[in-house]
Every structure is written in structure tokens, then in C-alpha cells.
Amino acid sequence: MEIKVRACVHNADNITRNTTLKLNSSLLKDKNKIWDCSDTIAYPPFINSHDHLISNWYPKAALNHPYPNVNVWVEEMKSSDSFLERNKVWINDGKFDLTHGTAPLIISLGMYKNLFSGCAVVQDHIPKQKKEYYNNNPINIIKEYTQCHSLSMGNWWGGKTAEEEYRNTEGKMPFIIHIGEGIDEVAKKCFPRMEELDLLQPNTLIIHGIVLTRDQIKKCAESGTSICWCPESNLFLIGKTLDIDSCLEFGVNVVLGTDSTMSGSRNILYEIKFAKKNFPHIPMKEIFRMISTNARKALFLQDSYGVLANETSNLLLLRMKDLNPFENILNTLMDDIELFVHQGIPVYGNLKFLTDFDIDRNQYHFFNVHGHKKFVKGHPELINTKIDSILGYHKDFPFFPF
Ligand SMILES: [Zn+2]
């Protein structure tokens, strides 16, 4: 299958125009067919470097934000309407085994939040789950990582100490930890403690880093430590975000994350819009790096992610609304995703493309959005129906395009 596109973003520094890509998929009926998609731009599917899939309930869950540090929010959110409504569907028994009961329903919500915004990869910050949690998803929920919740709260939700978790990476996978999510003394103590524990490492991914000073950011750059920026969640919960300008000045490997919808944005497309609106001087090209090659590096992903080769089995085709491919991402909404293929499998897009794949239509859901006929792999509408029947009323999730 060859696809003619208006432009192809191979990576942030390599764009070809009026070009043809080869889509590799064992499901294609006619491998020699040519699709004319010259009103689209091709990208590598995006990467969301920070989410908590189990917390993708809506709306945001905070009563008295902004808070001096996240510990205060974690306690206070438990009496928010959003948290109490989610409790009707799934109650946290403290074991954090998310493969049982109704937890998979909520996890699927979070997974589809990412899928419908063009993310082929999401980092779900949660204690390591059983194997089945990570298998058979239409997108990649990363399974090779170790983690600690934070140094201010420890690994309260499960897992070993930060030092043990780091040791278990053997340098071969990311170690992920919230650091400095606040502006007070509690938050300020995290980074020095991290240094004492020798956790400032090239395979460490710091989440948030709101309170980090310029010097501390410089140290991250020098040690190769990555930082995940979640501007919407930070400005909502804490009223302040990472010193992103110092990060870019010192060359920190910065990635972008949505966090969950209980504190952050609806999905990565909204996170990008929020980042650009609040930090208009940051070039979209830099933001694109954060959801592509920077994320690939921070999360130790395979070469097939974060870049687009001429022959590919991972592809994101977006409607061309702006000739500049980076500005085009900024203008993209969920229904502007014309085709999203992950590992050769069409997972979301315009129905017209699906007829060229040899697939089992029972494994897909079909719907209309703004006059466009769409398909999606799996049955997110049934997840919504099940949740509705538990609640006894209809619940809208703004990250579903239907
Ligand atoms: Zn988080």
C-alpha cells in the first residue's frame, strides 16, 4: 500500500513534501494499491509520557486549588464530586491490582483517551501490573519501567523504595517518579533528596519538577535525566509549572504528558494547545520533539516509535488544515485524524480506509462525527454503556469523539 501525502514529518528536523509512504500491514488486501491522500500530512503517532489511566474520570477533582504541594490535593480530591462519582463505578481498595472487577472499565477509558488523540504509546504511572494489563491493547501501554510515586509520599500505592526500584532498572528501562510537584518546603526537599539517593540518572524520568531551580535543571541536563512537562495539570493544581525555558536553554530531554483528566488536560491534543497558548514563544517544533523523539529516548522505546520511516507500520495521517506541519498539529481535533495505524493494525480513522484491510468488522465500532464516518478498534461505546448502567444515568466523556 502506497500513500501519497502532502507532507511527511519523519522527525522534527526532516520533512519531505508531496511524497509517497509505504504502509506495511499484513492485513492489506492489495499491497500494490495507491491511496491519494494529498490533503493530509503524515506523522509518527504521538507519545504521551505521563498519565494515570485509572484516574481518567471527568471533570477535574479539586475543591480548593491551587495547592502548595500535591500531597494536600491527593487527600482533598477524595471528597470532590468527580472522585465520588468514580467511586460508584470503582473503589480503590488500596491493592492497586487494576486487572480485576470494574478497574479495567476505567483503564479502558484512559486508554481510549490516548488512542483518540493519536497516541500510540502511553506511560501509565502506576505500580507494575500483571502481564495481561499490558497485553492486547490497541495501543502500547508501556510495560518496561520501574517507578516510585514520589519522594514526599514514598511508594504509598505499591512497589518498593525509590532506591530499590531504581536498582531494578539495571539501567535498561526508565525509572519514573513525581518530583517537586508543589512550591513549598515539602516540594523543595525532593530534588536534594533525589541527589542524595543517587537517583539523578540518565534513565530517570522526573515528572513535573515544578519547584526545580535553574541550577537543578542544569544538573538534569548534565546527568541526562529527562523531565516530563504537564503544564495544564501543574497550573491547575499548583498554579505554577516547570521552568521550561531553562530546560530548553540547558538542553534537558523534555517530554510532554497529559496527567489524568482529574487534574490535567482532556488528551495530548489539548495539552499541546494549552502549552502553546500559555508559552507562545516555544516553537511548535520543540513541542513536537517532546511527543516524539524525546519521548522515545526517555521511555526507552523501540526504533519504530517517535520517527516515521518511508516504510512503516505505525502511521498517523492528519487532515491538512495548515501548510506548516507543526502548526497543523496545533489545529488538529480528534475527528481530524484521518487514519491511525499501530503495528500494522488500523485502530482509528475514516471508514473509507478500512475497506482496504482484511479485518473482522465485529472487532470495530463505527460512528459518525461532524458528518464523517469513523471507525475505531474495539468497543469504547460499550464501556460507556456499562458505566452508564452502573451509574444509572448517561455519563459523557469529552475524550470520546462520539
Ligand atoms: Zn502524575
The alpha carbons of the chain give a radius of gyration, in whole angstroms, of 21
CA of 304 to the centre of ligand 1 (A): 26
pTM value surpassing 0.95: yes
* Cβ-contact 192, 163 below 8 angstroms: no
Domain 2-44+307-391: top CATH class: mainly beta
Cβ neighbors of 234 (< 8 A, separation 6 or more) are: 181, 208, 210, 240, 241, 242
> One fold for both 2-44+307-391 and 47-298?
no
Per the structure block, which three cell numbers stand in for 276?
Answer: 502553546
CA of 264 to the centre of ligand 1 (A): 9
Tell me the domain boundaries of the chain.
Answer: 2-44+307-391, 47-298
CA of 314 to the centre of ligand 1 (A): 27
Cα-Cα-Cα-Cα torsion 276, 66, 261, 161, nearest 10 degrees, comes to 110
Cα-Cα-Cα-Cα torsion 36, 41, 42, 47, nearest 10 degrees, comes to -150
CA of 45 to the centre of ligand 1 (A): 22
Q: 134 in helix, strand or coil?
A: helix
pLDDT in tens, the chain (402 residues): 899 999 999 999 999 999 999 999 999 999 899 999 999 999 999 999 999 999 999 999 988 999 999 999 999 999 999 999 999 999 999 889 999 999 999 999 999 999 999 999 999 999 999 999 999 999 999 999 999 999 999 999 999 999 999 999 999 999 999 999 999 999 999 999 999 999 999 999 999 999 999 999 999 999 999 999 999 999 999 999 999 999 999 999 999 999 999 999 999 999 999 999 999 999 999 999 999 999 999 999 999 999 999 999 999 999 999 999 999 999 999 999 999 999 999 999 999 999 999 999 999 999 999 889 999 999 999 999 999 999 999 999 999 999
DSSP for 218-286 reads HHHHHHT-EEEE-HHHHHHHTS----HHHHHHHT--EEE----TTTS-SSHHHHHHHHHHH-TTS-HHH
CA of 339 to the centre of ligand 1 (A): 29
CA distances (Å), 346 to each of 22, 42, 351, 352, in order? 14, 15, 10, 12
CATH architecture of the region 47-298: Alpha-Beta Barrel (3.20)
Going by C-alpha positions, the residue among 68, 43, 109, 62 that lies closest to residue 312 is 43
CA of 162 to the centre of ligand 1 (A): 16
pLDDT, position 254: 98
CA of 127 to the centre of ligand 1 (A): 12
CA of 156 to the centre of ligand 1 (A): 13
CA of 184 to the centre of ligand 1 (A): 18
